[in-house]
Amino acid sequence: MDNTKEHITHDPSSTDAWVCICKNTPADDGFYPCDEKGNKVEPTAETWTTNLYVCDQCGRIINCDTLEVVGRKAEL
């Protein structure tokens, strides 16, 4: 069994800019705070209780601390 997990990367020119596996970047479709199902939420203490972002191009759900892909939104 392969236990390798997917991770997104940083743009080589800016550690603040992510590059998804699908090649999405903040300048393209971007990334948004989300819940555990990939639904976009406002980044407030009341509504954003995860440290997750969703890629707005492919729906991958990303842990912003580790850049690990932890899931995928069922429908885009």
Domain regions of the chain by residue span? 9-72
CB 25 within 8 A of CB 33: no
Bigger pLDDT: 14 vs 76: 14
How confident is the prediction for the chain on average, in pLDDT? 92
The predicted-structure confidence for 23-41, as pLDDT tens digits, reads as follows 999 999 999 999 999 999 9
In which band, very low, low, confident or very high, does the pLDDT at 15 lie, cut at 50, 70 and 90?
confident
Per-residue pLDDT at 75 exceeds 80: no
Label residue 50 exposed, middle or buried (CB < 10 Å: 0-12, 13-18, 19+). middle
User: What integer pLDDT is reported at residue 16 of this predicted model?
Assistant: 85
What is the rounded distance in angstroms from the CA atom of residue 47 to the CA atom of residue 44?
Answer: 5
